[in-house]
Amino acid sequence: MCGRYDLSENPAAIRAKFRVPSDPAREFAFPPNPDVRPTDRPPIVRLGADGECEIALARWGLVPMWAKDLKFGARCVNARGETLATSLAYRAAFGSRRCLVPVSAFYEWTGPKGKKTRWRIALRDEPLFALAGLWEWWRDPARPAAVGVETFTIVTCAANAALAPLHDRMPVIVAPEAHAQWLDATQDGGAIVVSREIDGLTMAAT
**Burial letters for 2-19: b for 16+ Cβ neighbours within 10 Å, e otherwise?**
bebbbbebebeebbebbe
- Distance (Å, whole) CA 75 – CA 89: 10
- Distance (Å, whole) CA 46 – CA 20: 9
72 CA to centre of own chain: 17
Residues 151, 71: contact at Cβ < 8 Å? no
54 catalytic per annotation: no
User: Which of 2, 53, 76, 157 is the catalytic position?
Assistant: 2
177 catalytic per annotation: no
User: Which of 108, 136, 150, 157 is the catalytic position?
Assistant: 108
Q: Dihedral (C-alpha) 122, 128, 134, 140: value to the nearest 10 degrees? A: 110
- Distance (Å, whole) CA 115 – CA 162: 22
- Distance (Å, whole) CA 53 – CA 19: 7
- Distance (Å, whole) CA 70 – CA 91: 19
Question: Which residues are tagged catalytic?
Answer: 2, 108
